[in-house]
Amino acid sequence: MYRFSKVLLLICSLAVIGATVPTVYAAPKSLPAANSNTKSPANKPQDQTQAQGNTPQSQDQEQEEKKDVSTAELENLQQRLSDIKQQLSAATKDKEFSALNTQALDISHKADEYTNILTPVQTQIQAQLDVIGPAPAPGALDETPEVTKQRNALNADKALTEKKLEHAKTLKTNVSNLSKQIIELRRNALKTQLALNIGSILGPRFWAPIFSPQPDDGIKIASFSQQLSDNFAQAWQPDQLFGSLVLLVLAIAVWGYARKYLEKALVWLSIWGFPDGRLRRTFLAFATVIVTVVTIYGGANLLYLVFGRNNALPPLMDNFANGLLGLTIFSGLIAGLSRALLSIQRPSWRLIPMPDMIAVALKPYPTIIAILLMFFGTLEQINNVIGSSVPSTIFSNGIAALLIAIMVWQATRRTNRIRHEMIALGEPLEPRTSLGSLVHLVVSAVSIVIVLALLIGYIPLARFLTYELVWVGIVFSCLYLTTKLMGDLCESLFSVNHASGKWIKQVLSLDNRYLEQATILFSAIGNTILVMLAAIALFNGTYGATTPMTIVDKAIDILGSDSFGKINIVPANVMSALISAVVGLYILRTARRWLGTKFLPKTAMDTGMRMSLVTLFSNIGYVLLILITLSLLGIEWNKLAWIVSALSVGIGFGLQEIVKNFISGLILLTERPVKVGDLVSISGVEGDIRRINVRATEIQLSDKSTVIVPNSQLISQNVRNVTMGNAQGVATIPLTFPLNIDPEQVRGILLEAYVAHEAILDTPAPSVSFSQLTPDGITLSVTGYVSSPRVVSRTKSDLLFDILKRLRAANVKLSSPQSLVVQNLPPEIAAGYTDNSKKDDE
């Protein structure tokens, strides 16, 4: 069933012509089916011919009566074409575009008529020249003057006729190009009028193209149908029957069998051609999309060759066929992405974590949406090539938006119902991620908004939301698939467990950590390019018109143009600037987190250096983001002189401290007198530097509180950096002993305690110095070095516990303060001390 639905993607144009279009564009019975190529006057009654005026029959009669075309008539057509171009530059409404397109088509018909008149004239003149023959060669018999005069006259007529014929063909080409421009402008004008309320889909005005079609639409679609029928019949003429059958069989074979066998070959290649890992499934998913698009588009091209080989199609039909070929690419892309991401046949290889029941339930919806887009895209192509009326275009757009919105809403609703059923049955079900829930909510909301817009009459808005929803879904699906492929490809390429990684490691003599860095770095570069292309596709692409090459060309134009210096602010750029700012902030924060947590930890840099690089990268990123946002707004840099002047005055008064701290922060990040992780002391504050921001530095104290120090103070004041240059800590403990101890014994005890502690370094070795000798005792100072000043306090505490324990075991006491106690004083002396005490109290 799925295979036959894909076949319908290409032959739906015939279904449209045979079933839907005649119903929608059916002409009144009083109007005949016009055909520009009709030659038999008997096909139309005389009264209808007179009523219609300039019909193909009357044109053929005039062509038979008219034997030549004057230069003035061609100049008149040229002047009419110039007038249309001037009017087109000032046209803004759809009616104006439609009228100009009608005039251009009239000029095209006239040019065809003149070409048909001049071609037999040219043939007749050439035949007369062939009868007269060339001028006699030198030395031959002379011809009569009448013959020479006649030959000269015929040559002059031939040159004039060829000039006229070339002029008519040039007019035809110019008119064709102008008509394409008018159609494009008309379609864009209709798409951009989003706030235009043209009536609800429930009103009679919307259904007017079916119940009361306009006569012009009936005539145009009848003429188009006749041309399509003629081309179809011409393809099955006896002299082309064999080639048409072969091409048709090949197209059906490509649609029905080529994809199936190519996918089997891809499965074999992914299993046997790639190492174990996630690259197998991502490659298969990506290749499935490519194969689906190529087979559908290839079959469509074969079907196109059935009717259009040997340049058999007229320009109108050729434009229509090329438009259908473009639509097959997008329909095939939708089908391929759904098959790759849902992976019904190989659930274990599914990239998206999704239960099988939900995947199976969602399987028909992408195919149905692709068929609907192909069907209504065909209607839109017909509207464009025949220049149909606006009500007919609005009708097809409204029905397309309604059906696609219903399909999208039904898919989200069915997904929720299946999840509830699985929960009720007690089956294991992973909860949705935040991103998945957001996507589900946005898709459901947009589908409801589309239906509401159709009900209240904003059909252009509904059409815009519908095609934008489809386009955003295609872009994000492609981005998800390609980023997965990029990550898995880099991981497999630089993995030491695979042959490629081992070869790179051996050839370049790299450590494993450098291969890990290469994996992260190249995957980040590739993902950045993919995100940039996706952003360009979202902002500059549309469904049915944007191809990968146009996205690449747009990226080259953005990177290579001078648009950053010459952009004017327009209201439409405000939304782009806001979206760019939001996306840029997200990308910048993601890149900063990637640098700090993934890439830089794989390097040999210390923590402080890594934090400094991350901060410097963030500052540069914010500056670039501001510049890009201003560029999207259209601000010209040479017009910012007044802003610079105002900033200069502000800096002179209130902003000088901010600027000074900002510049000091840049100096700290580049010169690095202090860095993140250093233990510093400034103005009586001692702690660890945790972060160096744009304006200030955060210092965390020992009690886990934080002090905010302006960056300028770290530059202008004296700062003690305890850990600069990998400084070692010194644990010195002074102890006072009685005078009667053995200094050598105590010295040995102290050194043993220091040597036994695991934090004390062997080099420099611990030492004991005789500090001072006082009546209170002997003071000995024991000193040892530790790896960092941060562990001095803890080490000294452990050493004191150990030293006291060892001293007590060796029966060595510490010196205690001496006090004088006088006992048994004589009464008179004691009374004197008592009197003096009272005086002191008074």
Query: What is the rounded average pLDDT for all residues in the chain?
Result: 77
Pick from 125, 127, 130: nearest CA to 153: 125
Instruction: Answer with the residue of higher pLDDT: 67 or 786.
Output: 786
Task: Answer yes or no: are the C-beta atoms of 591 and 599 closer than 8 Å.
Answer: no
pLDDT of residue 5: 40
Q: Which residues pair with 736 in a beta bridge?
A: 779
Residue 609 pLDDT exceeds 70: no
Mean pLDDT is lowest, of 56-60, 266-270, 342-346, 607-611, for 56-60
- Number of DSSP helices (H) and strands (E) in the chain, helices first: 29, 8
pLDDT of residue 482: 92
What is the distance between the alpha carbons of residues 50 and 112, in angstroms, rounded to a whole number?
22
Q: How far is CA 105 from CA 61, 90, 109, 220, 728, in A?
A: 20, 19, 6, 12, 90
Residue 759 pLDDT exceeds 80: yes
What is the distance between the alpha carbons of residues 328 and 6, in angstroms, rounded to a whole number?
10
Amino acid at 829: I
The token duo for 693 is 């921001």
Residue 381 pLDDT exceeds 50: yes
pLDDT of residue 712: 83
What is the distance between the alpha carbons of residues 276 and 321, in angstroms, rounded to a whole number?
45
What is the distance between the alpha carbons of residues 323 and 374, in angstroms, rounded to a whole number?
11
Task: Answer yes or no: are the C-beta atoms of 370 and 331 closer than 8 Å.
Answer: yes
481 band by pLDDT with thresholds 50, 70 and 90: very high
pTM over 0.95: no
Pick from 639, 11, 699: nearest CA to 303: 11
Q: What is the DSSP letter of 766?
A: P
* Mean pLDDT computed over 247-268: 87
DSSP character string of 210-228: HHS--HHHHHHHHHHHHHH
Q: Which domains does the chain have, with CATH numbers?
A: 66-192 (no CATH), 729-809 (3.30.70.100)
pLDDT of residue 182: 77
Task: Answer yes or no: are the C-beta atoms of 247 and 303 closer than 8 Å.
Answer: yes
% of residues, the chain, pLDDT over 70: 79
Size of the chain in residues: 842
What is the distance between the alpha carbons of residues 371 and 384, in angstroms, rounded to a whole number?
20
% of residues, the chain, pLDDT over 90: 8
pLDDT of residue 448: 93
pLDDT of residue 820: 54
Residue 447 pLDDT exceeds 70: yes
Instruction: Answer with the residue of higher pLDDT: 45 or 174.
Output: 174
pLDDT of residue 46: 34
pLDDT of residue 746: 87
Mean pLDDT is lowest, of 7-16, 208-217, 481-490, 546-555, for 7-16
Instruction: Answer with the residue of higher pLDDT: 598 or 612.
Output: 598
pLDDT, tens only, 112-142: 888 888 888 888 888 888 887 777 777 666 7
Q: Please report where in the chains the tokens 């040559």 appear, as a residue.
A: 155
Instruction: Answer with the residue of higher pLDDT: 545 or 803.
Output: 803
Pick from 784, 780, 783, 767: nearest CA to 812: 780
pLDDT, tens only, 784-829: 988 878 788 888 898 899 888 888 888 888 877 665 555 565 666 6
Task: Answer yes or no: are the C-beta atoms of 179 and 101 closer than 8 Å.
Answer: yes
Residue 543 pLDDT exceeds 80: no
